[in-house]
């Protein structure tokens, strides 16, 4: 038994190491898109949620790029649709479409739209207008429950997005329906378009608000894949819907925008791209 446990621990460490390497490649893809996409992208909000989306796709979700329409697959809804480049980078890394398509992002006739769209292989739900993803997730969770499927539904919202009333309608509905196959993750990067989230409209105390709606709620470091994974595991034990508040940093990994709103929407100059890339390569 001990030998088996040790082997499993060893395997876990290897998998985490592999995940971290993939995340590095995914970050690089997003930096590339920030340099190559003429109108610019929402790079700050993309970099804050990469660790979350990658951990889901590579360590948690049952899905297959060879069968993107498999009905029993787990679903991921990027409700904060402006972070589409992060999702595209993960989907391409997972094999849903070739990375060469990154160069077409936001250009005419591209499968990679400015915000998530069903024309992109692997995208489970459209988004772009904030506040709607959790409701869509409830519909998917009800469909799964009704047909007896074991699949799980993951919804990622931004903290600024929580200004939308529909998010709170959905929080009530999911708790009422005791949807234990639904997980909400909040990318708590502390910024929205105009200013810091707490300046525009106070969200705090976010955890107790969500708990008071009847959700099992965890708070984690949203840049630590192991901690994210632990929380996702705990969510599976909940007898109702579960939420994870992932504390993150807008622009994570690029010092000149980290924790600021500089990268809300931007295109890298050549110098900025090289600087960001060098920093990524240096990081362990």
Which spans of this chain sit near another protein (rule: CB under 8 A)? Answer: 71, 117-118, 124-129, 131-144, 146, 165-166, 169-170, 172-173, 176-177
Q: Closer to another protein by CB, 25 or 145: give it.
A: 145
Show Cβ contacts of residue 108 under 8 Å, excluding neighbours closer than 6 positions.
Answer: none
Task: Decide if 30 contacts 46 (C-beta within 8 A).
Answer: yes
Q: Closer to another protein by CB, 44 or 81: give it.
A: 81
- Least distance (Å) from another protein to the CB of residue 149? 9
- Least distance (Å) from another protein to the CB of residue 224? 30
Closest CA to 159 of 187, 131, 184, 137: 187
For tokens 């909400």, name the residue.
184
Q: Which two tokens stand for residue 95?
A: 């094999």
Q: Closer to another protein by CB, 71 or 208: give it.
A: 71
- Least distance (Å) from another protein to the CB of residue 130? 10
Q: Which two tokens stand for residue 68?
A: 């993107």
Q: Closer to another protein by CB, 133 or 225: give it.
A: 133
Q: Closer to another protein by CB, 177 or 234: give it.
A: 177
DSSP 75-111: EEEESSGGGHHHHHHHHHHHTSS-GGGGGGTTSTT-S
- Least distance (Å) from another protein to the CB of residue 182? 10
Q: How far apart are CA 73 and CA 57, in angstroms?
A: 11
Q: Closer to another protein by CB, 29 or 151: give it.
A: 151
Three-state SS at 192: coil
- Least distance (Å) from another protein to the CB of residue 262? 28
Question: In degrees rounded to 5, what are phi and psi of residue 122?
Answer: 100, -15
Show Cβ contacts of residue 231 under 8 Å, excluding neighbours closer than 6 positions.
Answer: 218, 220, 244
- Least distance (Å) from another protein to the CB of residue 216? 20
């Amino acid at each position: 038994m001990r030998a088996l446990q040790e082997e499993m621990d060893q395997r876990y460490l290897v998998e985490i190491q592999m995940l971290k390497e993939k995340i590095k490649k995914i970050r690089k893809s997003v930096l590339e898109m920030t340099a190559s996409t003429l109108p610019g992208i929402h790079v700050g909000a993309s970099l804050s949620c990469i660790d979350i989306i990658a951990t889901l796709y590579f360590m948690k979700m049952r899905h297959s790029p060879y069968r993107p329409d498999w009905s029993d697959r787990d679903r991921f809804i990027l409700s904060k649709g402006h972070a589409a480049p992060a999702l595209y980078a993960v989907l391409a890394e997972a094999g849903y479409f070739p990375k060469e398509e990154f160069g077409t992002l936001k250009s005419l006739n591209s499968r990679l739209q400015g915000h998530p769209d069903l024309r992109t292989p692997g995208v489970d739900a459209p988004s772009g207008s904030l506040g709607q993803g959790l409701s869509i997730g409830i519909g998917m969770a009800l469909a799964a429950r009704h047909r007896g499927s074991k699949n799980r539904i993951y919804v990622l919202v931004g903290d600024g997005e929580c200004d939308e009333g529909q998010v709170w309608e959905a929080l009530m509905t999911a708790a009422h329906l005791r949807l234990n196959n639904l997980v909400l993750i909040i990318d708590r990067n502390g910024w929205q378009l105009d200013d810091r989230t707490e300046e525009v409209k106070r969200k705090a105390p976010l955890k107790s608000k969500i708990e008071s709606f009847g959700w099992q709620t965890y708070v984690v470091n949203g840049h630590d894949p192991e901690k994210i994974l632990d929380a996702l595991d705990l969510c599976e034990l909940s007898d109702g819907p579960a939420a994870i508040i992932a504390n993150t940093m807008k622009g994570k990994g690029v010092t000149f925008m980290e924790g600021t709103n500089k990268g809300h929407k931007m295109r890298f100059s050549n110098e900025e791209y090289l600087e960001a890339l060098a920093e990524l390569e240096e990081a362990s």
